C-alpha cells in the first residue's frame, strides 16, 4: 500500500509529489528527486525527517519528486500522505507570519476578491502583488473531489505562511455539510472570512457560525462570513441568509449555478439574472452588509468586463469576484468613485455642514434637496476615495 499527495509532471511548478511506502522490514529511507537539490536538498530532507519523527514514522520509504516547492507546500503534501496512513489528531504547524494573524472588519473594502484553486501552490505564492482586496483559497469547485483532502493541508499552510500583502484572507469551504469539516483547516490559522457556497437557507449560516465558535472556544477572535447565493431557493431566502448572524459581512451571488438552477443560459445582456442580482443587493443592503456580484468569466475581454462592472455598481453592488489577476485593476478602477462622483459628494457634504452651522432648516444643492441619507451616501463615497488615495484625508482644506 502506498500513500501519496501533491502534483508532478512537465507543467508543475512550486509543488511536489510525495509517496510514502510503508515497510515493516526496514528503517526509514528518503529518496529525493529535485532540480534544486544542490542548493536546498539538505533543508528539504531535514524538514521531512522532522515530520517523520513528529508523527512517529520509523519504517518505510519516502519518495519526493520536488518541482521547486516551498517549505509550506512540502510540509502540507507530506502531512496529507502521512495522515492517509495514520489516524492522528496531531498537526505539524509551521510558524505563522506575524501579519497573518491580523483581523478584518465589517466595513473592509471588498471591491475585488481573487479566487485561487486550493490545491495549486504556484498561484498562491505571489497572489498578493496584484492588489486584490481579498484572496480566496478555494476548496470547492476548483478542486477535484479526490484531491480535496490534501488541499485542506495546503490551504491551512498557505494561510499561515504566505504573505498576501494585506489582502483579506478568505477560504471558500465546500457545500455543507462537507464544508463543516473544512473549518478545522481554516479557523485558528489566520483566515478572515469564510465563504459558504450554494447557501440556500439561514440554517447553513448558523451551522457554520457554530462550527467556528466551537473551534475557537474562548478565543477573542472574530471570523466573518460571506454566504454565496447560487440557486432560486437561495435568492428567495436572501434576506434571511443575510441577517442570520452578526458575523455575516457580505452576501455574494454565483450566477453560473443560479442560471443552471433556473434552466437558462447567461447572456451578455443579463436580463435572466437581473431579478436575482437585485434581490441580493436589496437583501444585503437591508441587512446592513455588502452585496457582492458574481465573477466575469471571459478573462480576455477587458472592455466587456469594464461595462459589466459599471452595470454592477449601478445596481448597488459593492464589489465582485475575479478569476484572473488581470481583472483586478479593471474592477477596482470602475468600482471606485470617479472624479465627478467624488466632487459631487464633496459639494453635498460641504453644503450640508455649512447649512447646519447657519441653522438652516432646508439644504439644497443645484436645486435638489439634501437630506441625511444623501449625505451619508456622499460621505461613504468620500471615504472610499480617501482609502483609494484619490483625494487626501484633509480634502476639506482644499475644497473651494
In the chain, where the domains are located: 3-85, 103-335, 339-398
Q: pLDDT above 70 covers what percent of the chain?
A: 98
Tell me which range, 94-103, 241-250, 336-345, is most confidently predicted by mean pLDDT. 241-250
Residue 275 predicted with pLDDT over 70: yes
What pLDDT does 101 receive? Answer: 75
Residue 313 predicted with pLDDT over 80: yes
Q: How many helices (H) and strands (E) does the chain have?
A: 15, 14
Residue 384 predicted with pLDDT over 60: yes
Q: How confident is the model at residue 317 (pLDDT cuts 50, 70, 90)?
A: very high
Distance CA 301, CA 296 (A): 10
Q: Which residue has the cell 473531489?
A: 145
Residue 228 predicted with pLDDT over 80: yes
What pLDDT does 348 receive? Answer: 86
In 7-147, which ranges are continuous DSSP H helix?
A: 37-54, 71-85, 121-125
Q: What is the rounded average pLDDT of the residues 77-89?
A: 95
What pLDDT does 337 receive? Answer: 84
Which is more confidently placed, 371 or 48?
A: 48
Q: What is the rounded average pLDDT of the residues 172-191?
A: 97
Residue 361 predicted with pLDDT over 70: no
Q: How confident is the model at residue 399 (pLDDT cuts 50, 70, 90)?
A: low
Q: What is the rounded average pLDDT of the residues 177-197?
A: 97
Phi, psi of 225 (to 5 degrees): -125, 145
What pLDDT does 392 receive? Answer: 87
Q: How far apart are the first and last CA of the chain?
A: 77
Model pLDDT for residues 119-128, shown as the tens digit of each residue: 999 999 999 9
Which is more confidently placed, 346 or 357?
A: 346
- 103-335 domain in CATH 3.40.1410.10? no
- Edge-to-edge strand ranges of the sheet holding 60-67: 3-6, 15-21, 60-67, 28-34
Strand partners, 134: 113, 168
Which is more confidently placed, 176 or 377?
A: 176
Amino acid at each position: 500500500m502506498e500513500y501519496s499527495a501533491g502534483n508532478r509532471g512537465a507543467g508543475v511548478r512550486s509543488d511536489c509529489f510525495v509517496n510514502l511506502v510503508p515497510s515493516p522490514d526496514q528503517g526509514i529511507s528518503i529518496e529525493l528527486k529535485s532540480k534544486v537539490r544542490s542548493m536546498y536538498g539538505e533543508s528539504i530532507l531535514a524538514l521531512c525527517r522532522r515530520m517523520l519523527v513528529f508523527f512517529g514514522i520509523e519504517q518505510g520509504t519516502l519518495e519526493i519528486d520536488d518541482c521547486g516547492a516551498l517549505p509550506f507546500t512540502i510540509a502540507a503534501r507530506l502531512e496529507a500522505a502521512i495522515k492517509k496512513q495514520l489516524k492522528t489528531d496531531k498537526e505539524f504547524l509551521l510558524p505563522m507570519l506575524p501579519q497573518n494573524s491580523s483581523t478584518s472588519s465589517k466595513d473592509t473594502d471588498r471591491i475585488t476578491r481573487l479566487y485561487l484553486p486550493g490545491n495549486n501552490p504556484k498561484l498562491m505564492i505571489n497572489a498578493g502583488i496584484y492588489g486584490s482586496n481579498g484572496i480566496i483559497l478555494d476548496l470547492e469547485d476548483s478542486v477535484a473531489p479526490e484531491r480535496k483532502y490534501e488541499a485542506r493541508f495546503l490551504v491551512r499552510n498557505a494561510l499561515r505562511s504566505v504573505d498576501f500583502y494585506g489582502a483579506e484572507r478568505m477560504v471558500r469551504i465546500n457545500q455543507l455539510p462537507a464544508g463543516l469539516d473544512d473549518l478545522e483547516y481554516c479557523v485558528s490559522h489566520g483566515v478572515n472570512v469564510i465563504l459558504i457556497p450554494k447557501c440556500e437557507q439561514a440554517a447553513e449560516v448558523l451551522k457554520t457560525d457554530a462550527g467556528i465558535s466551537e473551534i475557537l472556544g474562548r478565543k477573542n477572535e472574530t471570523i466573518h462570513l460571506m454566504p454565496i447565493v447560487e440557486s432560486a431557493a437561495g435568492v428567495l431566502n436572501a434576506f434571511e441568509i443575510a441577517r442570520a448572524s452578526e458575523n455575516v459581512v457580505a452576501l455574494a451571488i454565483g450566477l453560473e449555478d443560479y442560471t443552471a438552477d433556473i434552466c437558462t443560459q447567461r447572456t451578455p445582456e443579463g436580463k435572466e439574472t437581473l431579478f436575482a442580482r437585485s434581490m441580493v443587493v436589496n437583501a444585503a443592503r437591508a441587512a446592513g452588509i455588502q452585496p457582492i456580484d458574481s465573477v466575469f468569466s471571459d478573462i480576455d475581454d477587458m472592455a466587456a468586463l469594464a461595462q459589466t462592472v459599471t452595470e454592477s455598481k449601478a445596481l448597488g453592488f459593492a464589489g465582485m469576484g475575479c478569476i484572473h489577476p488581470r481583472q483586478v485593476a479593471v474592477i477596482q478602477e470602475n468600482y471606485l468613485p470617479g472624479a465627478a462622483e467624488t466632487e459631487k459628494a464633496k459639494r453635498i457634504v460641504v453644503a450640508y455642514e455649512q447649512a447646519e452651522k447657519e441653522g438652516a432648516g432646508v439644504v439644497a444643492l443645484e436645486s435638489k434637496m439634501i437630506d441625511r441619507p444623501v449625505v451619508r451616501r456622499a460621505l461613504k463615497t468620500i471615504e472610499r476615495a480617501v482609502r483609494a488615495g484619490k483625494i487626501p484625508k484633509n480634502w476639506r482644506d482644499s475644497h473651494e
